[in-house]
Structure 1
């Protein structure tokens, strides 16, 4: 039985569970904020490095790394994935201090070419696309510190009480609004870009309804939304990455790309999405221990999605006779 069906059958039970989880998360936020960010990040990172390899996803990450770096030794792969867990543990702890980190310029080194800097001064509408490396939440820090109000797009949590906590922690990052994916968000996104605003979103997640692009020697499912929005709104994309230098210190980099605009819209989107992943791959190779290798990036579509695609294709074929 799916979560949605269980929720419809037992609404009071789920409402109580949501409230309790929200309370627990609020307490966790309060307690973690009592610990200095450097200590919290260090302790959480070392704990995840030690215990996370017992998680089933550790094996998946090792398999992905073996495909991506076939010449890497087994020991090197294990150390790289353990480094990934340590980075993720640090990100988890730093999330509780995200508003404070935004104000601490001494922790950040920002680099980018003249074109990228002009875009991120808020003088031109653009889409800032990051990926899950370093502490990706802080990719917008140099832009926010310039006074630009960024609009963010995210996947809302299933628990609305927990989602409120997360939104509160991120409110200083996205003063232009934090939009949960959906039809209403799509309208607001287009309005933001048309009015010259900056939109921020992730670009490396698997999307089986998207397109396949080359990624570490294999075809991987990719999200076409950033390229599609950029082409429709005629705005550039700025790819951003965060490199963890040492502890809670970061280098933030930006690289602008343009989306082709020919008579073949789908080909333009495909080309731009492939280009994004080409750059992501190059960046990941520089610091493989900082990317999230547990992504199901190369997994085939689920059975339900395949059935929907087959049904849609049959309907189109029937319509055209």
Structure 2
């Protein structure tokens, strides 16, 4: 029997797909077993183990490690290479735990802080767009939102083979939308128009709007500002950090109007998306300088 090249290619493609599916299912099962095993431990013990694993991974991930050290040196040139390296390892370990806690959000009870104006927005039921960042406990902001308002919506980057992990979000009344979905933004827009409280991580590199970050020009995602502009919903900023005792604290705030007294007497013009994102990044920088060992430094944030 003669088999042509097209037949061989099809057979190879099917075999490759089956192998990929097997690997994905195996990874999913292993991760679920690991999560279950970790949840039998105390939270303090989990943190020690995961932090150590995170630091070990960074030790062998040369490209990721060098990028983190380079980013830290760019942002804080006053640090020596030794200090920047130590900060990179501390931050990677802390962020590993902050990410892992997404799998047991039902056990996270954050302390929540905000002023009266922000509290009224969170309790009004009219929705808001919330700019957050990869610092401390990654999903503590939408978790805190869910305690004030419904629905609490966020984007997630969970791989397809771990879709069951979205249950960890729904268990605490968070709606998680896969950011890799082709209609992710349109779904966010629909939900924002239906009075949802949408929390989006905005400290990644994205070729959408130019900002200044630690004194250097870079590009940032503008989705949160665009959503607020299109829906006329309030725009808030929030972040979650760990205290020395391991307790999570979540802070909500509104962006301050930095106009002069003379400018304040004039009618306020609507700010552009670029201006809004610039203010958000100015605030991000101050927060990171306050908690440098809790922010994820390894993203390629300053691309040429």
2:139 pairs with 1:134: no
SS in 1 for 2:148: coil
Does structure 2 retain, via aligned residues, the 8 Å contact 1:19–1:161? Answer: yes
Whole-angstrom distance in 2 between the partners of 1:77 and 1:258: 32
Give the alignment's TM-score, normalised by structure 1.
0.80
- The answer as to whether partners of 2:69 and 2:85 remain within 8 angstroms in 1 is yes
| Counterpart among 74, 95, 107 of residue 100 in structure 1 | 107
Question: Shift of residue 143 of structure 1?
Answer: 2.3
> Following superposition of structure 1 onto structure 2, how do residues 106-145 of structure 1 map, counting pairs within 5 Å?
108-145=110-147
Please tell me whether residue 272 in structure 1 is matched to residue 272 in structure 2: no
Q: Gaps spanning 5+ residues in structure 1: where?
A: 1-5, 301-321
Query: CA deviation digits over 1:102-155, x for unaligned, max 9?
Result: xx3xxx332112121111224331012210011121123332223532022223
Deviations 1:37-56 (A, max 9, x none): 22111222134335523321
Matched, 1:44 2:43: no
What residue is the counterpart of 1:283 in the other structure?
Answer: 287
Q: CA RMSD in A?
A: 2.4
Deviation, 1:161, is 2.3
The answer to whether the aligner puts 1:161 opposite 2:161 as a matched pair is yes
Deviations 1:151-197 (A, max 9, x none): 2222341xx222x232122223444x221234433333222222222
Distance 2:23 2:278 in 1: 42
Change (3 A) 1:253 1:138: same
Aligned counterparts of 2:13 and 2:142: Cα–Cα separation in 1: 36
2:37 matched to which residue of 1?
A: 31
Q: Which of 287, 299, 304 is matched with 2:303 structurally? A: 299
Secondary structure at the aligned position of 1:128 is classed as strand
**Shift, 1:286, TM fit:** 0.6
Aligned-partner Cα distance in 2 for 1:297–1:17: 31
CA deviation digits over 1:265-319, x for unaligned, max 9? xx7011111111111001101111111110111113xxxxxxxxxxxxxxxxxxx
Does structure 1 retain, via aligned residues, the 8 Å contact 2:125–2:149? no
SS of equivalent to 1:292: coil
TM-score, normalised with respect to structure 2: 0.84
- Tell me how far apart the structure 2 counterparts of residues 7 and 258 of structure 1 sit (CA, whole Å): 56
Cα distance in 2, alignment partners of residues 253 and 7 from structure 1: 50
Q: Give distance in 2, aligned partners of 1:143 and 1:32.
A: 26
| Equivalent position SS for 2:299 | coil
Match of 2:265 in 1: none
Count of aligned pairs: 281
What is the CA–CA distance in structure 2 between the aligned matches of 1:230 and 1:201, rounded to whole Å? 12
